[in-house]
Structure 1
């Protein structure tokens, strides 16, 4: 079986894998596209190479995957 790693900040709203930070409980609970504290499993070694094109984001800013939770794009609590 292929190894996977958690990749933060690359999930579309409602498509994260499981519990992240405040505002999420488990799979499918992220409420913001590319929410920084929500993660998705990706093939090992690919997370930090994952780039979300600027044209795909609300503020036209490129996003990259991270192996650690990010403070960007987190819903207001």
Structure 2
């Protein structure tokens, strides 16, 4: 009986360790991201859509300069929209 419990405990410990290692590998595989302002379509921002808005999905116009979305790190300023390129900081309203 003791051998069975020991084997079960060892098996459980190995399973938990494998799950933890798998979760860490999945996190490492995700690309780094950064906030990119002025590239989201209306209602598709991740957060920060200016005064009077609560957060995600609240931008009121396409490419709103003070609304951001997460993009792969290093790509923001290369994203071209009809209103110009993406920005790492909020854009001033024109």
Report TM bin, short chain: 0.7 to 0.9
Q: Which runs of 5+ in 2 are unaligned?
A: 1-29
Number of residue pairs the alignment of both structures matches:
65
Uncovered stretches (5+) of structure 1, i.e. residues with no partner: 55-61
CA RMSD of superposed structures (Å) = 1.5
Point out which structure has higher relative CO (alpha carbons under 8 A, 6+ apart).
Answer: 1
Q: Which has the greater radius of gyration?
A: 2
The structure 1 segments of at least 4 consecutive aligned residues displaced by more than 3 Å after TM superposition are none
Structure 1 length-normalised TM: 0.76
> What is the CA distance between 1:19 and its match in structure 2?
2.5
TM-score w.r.t. the length of structure 2 is 0.63
Pick the structure with more helix per residue: 2
